[in-house]
Amino acid sequence: MTPTLNIIGCGKVGRVLGRLWAASGVFELRDILNRTRESAARAVGFIGAGRATTDYAVLRPAEVWMIGVPDDAIGSCCERLAAVGHPAAGNVVFHCSGAQPAAILAASAGRGASIASAHPVASFADAESMIASFAGTFCCVEGNADAVRTVAAAFGRIGARILEIDGASKLVYHAGSVFAASYLVTLLEVALQTYEHAGIPRATALELMQPLVHGSVANVFGKGTAKALSGPIVRSDFGLIARQQAALDAWNEPIGELYRRLAEFAAKLAQKQSESSGTEQS
């Protein structure tokens, strides 16, 4: 029989996963609980299954529970579930936070449930496009063995690539995703501001930097970070670096400090590049 699923906090991630699971017959969607009835109803409409509610007290039993509330509310959500008699012993409860471990579901574990976390490493900003492209997405899981098996199987059936990680390292693990996505975008914004300060219009600066960005990213995934590195650090042009540093400090001290820190990391990466080249030549 198809296992039943309740989703507590059904935002973009819950909607995408709920629709994929419902369409694939992985789960029978039962209750979808959001803070407002309108939001819950929209989630049900998007998924095409489930019953919308805002009331913990009317939640029906389910074999699997997905907690999709914001990170800081996961623990209290489990406590509210426990207060109304959920989950039952033997149920599986999991959340999709990249930063919180499964252990934050302690209130559910206290009722005899098996707990896990499952973090799909992807952007869910556009739900429709994520549904179309979800297959092949890495999903990092950790928690109790029984829950991990159940959750990994559910994600695997909709095309996810499963990777087991250490729950104790989740904060640092998730920071990697923040660097790769949010902070990469932030760094590109800094580059745009630098071009603009030099008198180049923003729209032109975007065109100017596009081949640089695309080429660098392609090289990282084709050759690795060390071999993809270019610029004055690789050429050991330290005089130029010092002059750039002084110019940035005079214009914008925080950007100057960012340049300084990045230069330190780039120098270490350049050393790896140099050592690698030396090994290849020998």
The domains of the chain are located at 4-165, 172-281
What CATH class has 172-281?
mainly alpha
Query: What pLDDT does 282 receive?
Result: 43
Q: For 32, phi and psi rounded to 5 degrees? A: -125, 115
pTM of the model: 0.85
Q: What would the pLDDT profile of 77-122 be if each residue is shown by its tens digit?
A: 999 999 999 999 999 999 999 999 999 999 999 999 999 999 999 9
> Element (H or E) spanning 242, and its range?
helix 238-251
Segments in the chain below pLDDT 50? 281-282
Three-state DSSP at 4 gives strand
In the chain, the N- to C-terminal Cα span, in Å, equals 62
Q: Which CATH superfamily hosts domain 4-165? A: NAD(P)-binding Rossmann-like Domain (3.40.50.720)
Q: For 126, phi and psi rounded to 5 degrees? A: -115, 100
Q: How far is CA 48 from CA 32, 62, 115, 254, 279, in A?
A: 11, 18, 27, 49, 58
Q: How many CB atoms lie within 10 A of CB 167?
A: 17
